[in-house]
Chain A
Amino acid sequence: MSDNQNNIPFEPEKTQISDLSQQDSGRTQAFDPQKTQMSAPPEKALTMKCIAGNAYAAAAHPSREHVLVAMTAGGAAGGRRMPLNLCLIIDRSGSMEGAPLEYVKRACSYVVDLLEPNDVLSIIAFEERVDVIMPARRVVNKALIKEHINRLEVGNTTNLYDGIAAGASQIASVASSGYVNRALLFTDGEPTAGIKDYNSIVGQVAEQKSRGITITALGFGDEYNEELLAGIAKRSGGNYYYITRPELIPEVFRKELETLMTVVARNLHMRVRLSRWVQVRQVYGRLPSFGERYAEVTLPDVERGSTESALIEFELGQRPAGVYRVARVELTYEDSVTGRTEQLACDVVFEFTADESLIAANVNEQVQREIEVALASRNLERTVMGMRTQQLDPSAAIAELEKTKALLVQQGKVTQAQDIQKAIDDIKQGAGVEKTLVGTIYNLDRGKSGK
């Protein structure tokens, strides 16, 4: 971060213009990184592409158009990874007694095994009280750390808020650059002690995120508040897991750790600079902030070989026919291998035309699919709400889920379609499905793919 020479300003005059004869790419094109940065290495961790929902927009009329911004991390399996600064924040409330706590201990020990001496680990356990089981330190003496873990015992209530605060301060005690910072929050229940309300907890998470600390939320069992945990993960840009059975706990920890070890870009900030007569109407599944002629969103960390995307809907004011850059998308992120802050930029260009047949004939199918998926996610949200408030009876809920599933299958979202099938089966068995579905919504909204 202190390395100023990496923050090279954009040079707009070097922006490449789209090749107008190529209509399939929707007139917008990935920015050529080599033309923006002089001192950066030629290979960047991320590439960014803006894909317009249509090559054309209506001239002399207001219209709405979608643009998909896709950020892809290279798939090359480099040997190096940035060390982790990891904090395990573990719920040891009374309900964890027995198998759950035993499996959590096993999962924590497993994490210790997977870490290397360069990685930093801290462990927080919370109930009514918050205990620092292990302050942030390098993973050198693994046997000693495991001894600490094995001393974990169950307590009484669940003070989630202070648990998160304690974990974040352990992470913050180590210099922020040079590490992938992450807290894994594991809980099996509703917060019952300390500050308990949703807004305060998620507010704290947002604050930690602004300090570069991401929280992955792991919910276990039937009692935890899925709205709260998914909210934490979403606000933080971390992952959200729902763990149904205690014996699955170690496996989920392993999965999350492997994900973390392949993070190639973190602290992603996307700023969409807008030309006159252009507004950002929405960024699906995310809460943008707005400023003078721009909208901004924070995006989750990106792992090797995966793609993170943001679907933006623009409100385009009326204008004379012609070719216009309606927006310029700028992305900054920290390369997790070099630790440098990198920038990418990409122009969003439409040709405004009075010829409606041109507009009709140039719909981009990939963007269209993403719009469908975003709608499926909203449908799913409504279904979950309907079930929660008993306005949808099981058969009506199943009918809704079948519709959403069919849509997702059509759009190639196989994993999420399978989740929904599982939910349908569970409803038939009379089991609760909200936790599964909240996870599905979470994954759909993240627009993540690949791997």
Chain B
Amino acid sequence: MSDNSIEKTQAVNQTQIVSDSAVESTQMAVSVKCPVCGTNSPGGEIYCSECGFLLSSTPVDVEAGLPAENMPKLVDPSGGREFVLKHGVNTIGRQDTDVLLSHPTVSRRHAQIIVEESRCLLEDVGSTNGTVLNGSQLGQNESVNLSDGDEIVFGSVRLLFEYPLASGEEIAAEAEVGSAQTEEVPEGQEIEELEEVRDIETEPASIPIAARLVTRAGEVYPIKEGENRIGRRQDNDIVIADPYVSSSHAVITAADGEISITDVGSTNGTSVAGEKLAPNEPRTISIGDEIVVGQTVLTLESAEDE
């Protein structure tokens, strides 16, 4: 340790001296080659214009210190961002994850990519708004192989998977992917604030009924005959803990074999199949319809297939 600190002091002294001369040589237009990344910087630059290395100093162990070139990564096609993945588990989400995506449609813990010797596996770890690989929604706990050029959408954040050396044999393995139906998420609609919501699992319907509402997170709300009031307040039949859901948001009425939904004057609105409802005008809904209340996406499913 003491040896190191001596070295350090020397390095510091050396740096200062040399940098003074660097300033003097500003007029000389000779380009300087960076000993770390090999980029030529214009003469007079203090730091390498590419990697930032202090050009007047001498690097140590360049070979051993350089990052591995062939690691898989996620690249943001719209900006310059990229996320280099490491061996083992790479968590992806909105909070304290390896790949940090600060976007409201991304869950705190959204998905993970496991980098192994011969393959990379993508898994959705129970996100609210889902993970879509090349247009196909991943099922719960489904694990799929990734290959170079794959497009992955977390919530509504789109990234490309790049792994030039690893393409080829794995491609066949991902043929089974994509049985699940992909549902269009209205852009910017599904703000996901609270995955803790999932902890309040609603009891599955005990009495057989015709239909139920299912959230992306897998919560199930049975629809009973008559009125089903939806809102944030506890006195509703269907309580949705989404801050964008009004206290009294909408009413679903099941009568005479028909189900309809009425927005009762909510702040952030209700939409069915991407179409916004006018307040207080009932609209008939059918199995498979996607309903958005506040920022929560609900799908009307038949409750008879179980």
Contacts and interface: CB of A to CB of B under 8 A. Distances in A.
Interface of A: 12-13, 15, 17, 19-21, 59-60, 62, 190-192, 196-199, 225, 227, 274-282, 287, 289-295, 315, 317-327, 347, 349, 352-355, 357-358, 378, 385-386, 388-391
Contacts of A321: 59-61, 65
Interface string B1-32: 10011001000100110010000001000000
Contacts of A225: 267
Contacts of A59: 60-61, 65
Contacts of A13: 26, 44-46
Contacts of B230: none
B154 interface: no
Contact of B36 (A319, A327, A355): A319
B253 to A, nearest CB: 23
B57 interface: yes
Nearest to B78: A290
A12 B12 contact: no
A363 B61 CA distance: 25
B61 A320 contact: yes
Contacts of B15: 20, 323
Contact of A275 (B50, B191, B244): B50
Contact of B53 (A197, A280, A324): A324
Interface string B227-243: 00000101000000101
Contact of A290 (B12, B81, B269): B81
Given A282-B102, A389-B196, 8 more contacts: A59-B60, A62-B86, A190-B246, A225-B267, A277-B67, A291-B79, A325-B46, A389-B241
Which 3 A-B residue pairs are closest in the complex by CB-CB distance?
A320-B65, A275-B52, A290-B79
Contacts of B86: 62
B83 A279 contact: yes
B4 A21 contact: no
A320 B268 contact: no
Contacts of A196: 267-269
B47 to A, nearest CB: 4
A196 B276 CA distance: 12
B151 interface: no
A290 B50 CA distance: 18
B219 interface: no
Contacts of A355: 1, 4-5, 8
B8 A60 contact: no
B269 A322 contact: no
Contacts of B26: 13
B128 to A, nearest CB: 14
Given A196-B269, A276-B37, A324 B19 contact: no
Contacts of B67: 62, 277, 317-319
29 contacts: A13-B45, A196-B267, A198-B191, A199-B191, A227-B244, A275-B51, A279-B82, A282-B102, A290-B76, A291-B79, A291-B80, A293-B80, A294-B80, A319-B36, A320-B60, A320-B66, A321-B59, A322-B60, A323-B15, A323-B54, A325-B46, A325-B47, A327-B52, A353-B8, A357-B1, A357-B4, A358-B8, A385-B193, A388-B243
B60 A324 contact: no
B29 to A, nearest CB: 11
Contact of B84 (A190, A292, A317, A319): A317
B100 A276 contact: no
A319 B172 CA distance: 36
Nearest to B14: A20
B150 to A, nearest CB: 21
Contact of A289 (B36, B45, B79): B79
Contacts of A281: 100
B269 A320 contact: no
Given A13-B45, A320-B60, A276 B196 contact: no
Contacts of B84: 62, 317
A278 to B, nearest CB: 7
A417 B48 CA distance: 45
A391 B198 CA distance: 11
Contacts of A198: 191, 244, 267-268
Contact of A322 (B36, B199, B241): B36
A354 B7 CA distance: 12
